[in-house]
Amino acid sequence: MPAYSELKRTHTCGQLRAVDDSTKVRLNGWVKGERHLGGLLFLDIRDRYGFTQVVINPQEFDPEMLAEAERVRAECVVAVVGTVQKRPDGTVNPKMETGEIEVNAEAFYVLAESKTPPFEIEDETTAKDVLRLEYRYLDLRRKPLQEALKLRHEATMAIRNFMSDQGFLDIETPLLMRSTPEGARDYVVPSRVYPGKFYALPQSPQLLKQILMISGFDKYFQIARCLRDEDLRSDRQPEHTQLDMEMSFVTPEDVWAVIEGLMVSMFRDVLGVKVEAPFERYDYEEVMMRWGIDKPDLRFGMEICDLTDVVRGCDFKVFADNVASGGVVKGIVLKGGGSYSRKQIDGLTEVAKKHGGRGLAYVLRAESGDKSPILKFIGESVKDKLVETAGVEPGDALFIISDKPLKTEEILGQLRLHLGRAHDLINKDEYKFLWVTRFPLFDFNEEQGRFEAMHNIVSHPIEEDMQLIDEGFDSKLTGDDLSHPWRRVRAAQYDLVINGLEVASGGQRINQRELQEKVLSILGIDKDRADRMFGFLLRALEYGAPPHAGIAIGLDRVVSLMLGRDSIRDVIAFPKTTNATSLMDNAPSSIDPEQLEELGLALKKKD
């Protein structure tokens, strides 16, 4: 075999066209398939640019090379030397980019053998996920994954260009850092030099980016890896990538404007899709009341309507008692749902129960007249009022939930999503962007009887609610009282939602040590612990911290959304399973006893 320098490709496998007719070329690639036809041998050679048909005429071919070509298996790497020729009439393949030509081979060499792959490298595969993850290098040869990683590259390039053009500096923050829990568990790395001490891998660059603001880097960004040791839910990864950014001397509106500009340019450059900005903006309270979820999918309607006043004091005790004890009664209307069957209603009731509902009431406006199991309790006049208030037209269905405030809306929000999907009410080609802001600063954990940060320990309260922080310290109320001042503090915290997915989260940050300490103490973190965990941030806050705000966008999520893929796994080159293992290299794995010794670690037996 000649030296590889003489066999090196002159063209990729996706490059040749009719204009290249008669050109002498060398192609390198993977054998995709082989077939004998009309006394000729045809081979398809593939690389990430496409594939090219190679034709070998046994009559004119070197017998040794012919034997090689005939025994070659799929996925071997080969070099072909030959001449481009237009395909004979009737054999042109318009579906293939190189379908006008073929390469008439003069020489054929195998550069690397391949075992028979455990699954075929086809666009569509029925291979099991585990197998595909174990042989990820083969899975990544498949076109859908090659396309996904290419689009991801284009998205990150669009981000870098846009952010840099806007004056942001790309600054790296360390991977080995102090453990500063942000809600999830840290991945920790033992130190060899300081036995018994540990670094943590960052859950996000949050505190460091704030410190960069204190240093005066008023516009920072980074495409950062974030690691969180959480119990994995489906479609979560222990490590994910985010576009992390922070700005000084700004209000949240300035951050939104940058992200809106970024989304417009990214969707335009990568997908050719026009995105309208500014995006709609809603307070948390409003989205919860209208759509029953903090990340509403606005590609379809079906807003929640309030029926509490209609049923107040009515003869249906379930409604009347609930309302009398502070509960609410609300509903959603399904257009054309008037003909819902018993079975469909049962199915929907199950969905309501799955989300904590006690049951589901309904009014069906069928052709044969209004049907409702509660009609005999509420009577015609209340039913008519319900129908009128909710705007139920003939042929529609009204589904009603009666429960505690917020819980009622949340159940209806889930029913709405279920119905939207079940009845194909969602336009899959549309992108609906919106901001949700002014989330509660704190969540009260009823079980543990303590306040928790709803999003982030560094979120700044909105100006109007600042005084509630101090009022809470003086309050005689307990945390489970809905009117406790701390339950009413809203945060200058915001999420970007696209098509019902939370793709970014950010906020204005606390820039005064005193306020940060108050928030930490509300969260039950006393001065000592605060100092141990966040001392470096608290100290830095004493040296001129500018007002600042920022956000982080989940890159894996946005890219999978752009591609219309259901799973973020498809847009990550080497993803882990939902059990946080990597099937290809078998991580996590044991380490050598010598390594443990060096680190001063001894393993305890654990079940």
Note the residues at the interface with ligand ASP (CB under 6 A): 204, 206, 226, 456, 505-507, 550-552
CB of 226 to ligand ASP, least distance (A): 6
Eight-class DSSP state of 175:
S
Q: How far is CA 40 from CA 26, 29, 36, 61, 156, in A?
A: 20, 20, 6, 11, 46
CB of 213 to ligand ASP, least distance (A): 12
Closer by beta carbon to ligand ASP, 182 or else 306: 182
Q: Are strands 50-56 and 40-47 parallel, antiparallel or unpaired?
A: antiparallel
Strands, E assignment, 39-167:
40-47, 50-56, 77-86, 101-112
Residue count (the chain) = 607
**3-state class (DSSP) for residue 208:** helix
CB of 552 to ligand ASP, least distance (A): 4
Closer by beta carbon to ligand ASP, 204 or else 499: 204
Which tokens is 256 given?
């939104």
- Crossing angle (nearest 10°) for helices 284-291 and 407-422: 60
CB of 537 to ligand ASP, least distance (A): 13
Quick check: 23 and 84 in contact, CB under 8 A? yes
Q: How far apart are CA 372 and CA 350, in angstroms?
A: 18
Q: How far apart are CA 262 and CA 306, in angstroms?
A: 37
Quick check: 178 and 536 in contact, CB under 8 A? yes
Place of tokens 């002014």: 438
Closer by beta carbon to ligand ASP, 183 or else 278: 183
Q: What are phi and psi of 573, to 5 degrees?
A: -60, -50
In the Cβ-directed half-sphere of 91, how many Cα atoms lie within 13 Å?
A: 11
CB of 203 to ligand ASP, least distance (A): 7
Closer by beta carbon to ligand ASP, 226 or else 304: 226
Q: What burial class does residue 59 get, using C-beta atoms within 10 Å of its C-beta: 0-12 exposed, 13-18 middle, 19+ buried?
A: exposed
CB of 496 to ligand ASP, least distance (A): 11
Closer by beta carbon to ligand ASP, 140 or else 184: 184
CB of 456 to ligand ASP, least distance (A): 6
Closer by beta carbon to ligand ASP, 226 or else 572: 226
- Crossing angle (nearest 10°) for helices 407-422 and 342-354: 130
CB of 460 to ligand ASP, least distance (A): 11
**3-state class (DSSP) for residue 205:** coil
Closer by beta carbon to ligand ASP, 54 or else 551: 551
**3-state class (DSSP) for residue 52:** strand
Quick check: 364 and 337 in contact, CB under 8 A? yes
Which tokens is 240 given?
């994910």
Closer by beta carbon to ligand ASP, 226 or else 258: 226
Closer by beta carbon to ligand ASP, 98 or else 459: 459
**3-state class (DSSP) for residue 507:** strand
CB of 240 to ligand ASP, least distance (A): 9
CB of 279 to ligand ASP, least distance (A): 18
CB of 182 to ligand ASP, least distance (A): 7
Q: Which helix (H) or strand (E) holds 133?
A: helix 129-134
Closer by beta carbon to ligand ASP, 426 or else 501: 501
Closer by beta carbon to ligand ASP, 292 or else 507: 507
CB of 551 to ligand ASP, least distance (A): 5
CB of 204 to ligand ASP, least distance (A): 3
Q: What are phi and psi of 515, to 5 degrees?
A: -65, -40
Q: What are phi and psi of 216, to 5 degrees?
A: 100, 5
Strands lying side by side in the sheet with 493-498: 169-170, 219-227, 239-248, 548-554, 501-508, 493-498, 433-437, 280-283
What is the amino acid identity at position 488? R
Output the residue with the shortest Cβ distance to ligand ASP: 204
Which tokens is 425 given?
């009410």
Q: Which helix (H) or strand (E) holds 31?
A: strand 24-37
Closer by beta carbon to ligand ASP, 287 or else 504: 504
CB of 515 to ligand ASP, least distance (A): 17
CB of 493 to ligand ASP, least distance (A): 8
Closer by beta carbon to ligand ASP, 171 or else 351: 171
Q: 3-state DSSP: the chain helix, strand, coil percent, rounded to 5? A: 35, 25, 40
Torsion of CA 26, 30, 36, 42, to 10 degrees: -30
Closer by beta carbon to ligand ASP, 440 or else 506: 506
Closer by beta carbon to ligand ASP, 226 or else 328: 226
Which tokens is 537 given?
């941030």
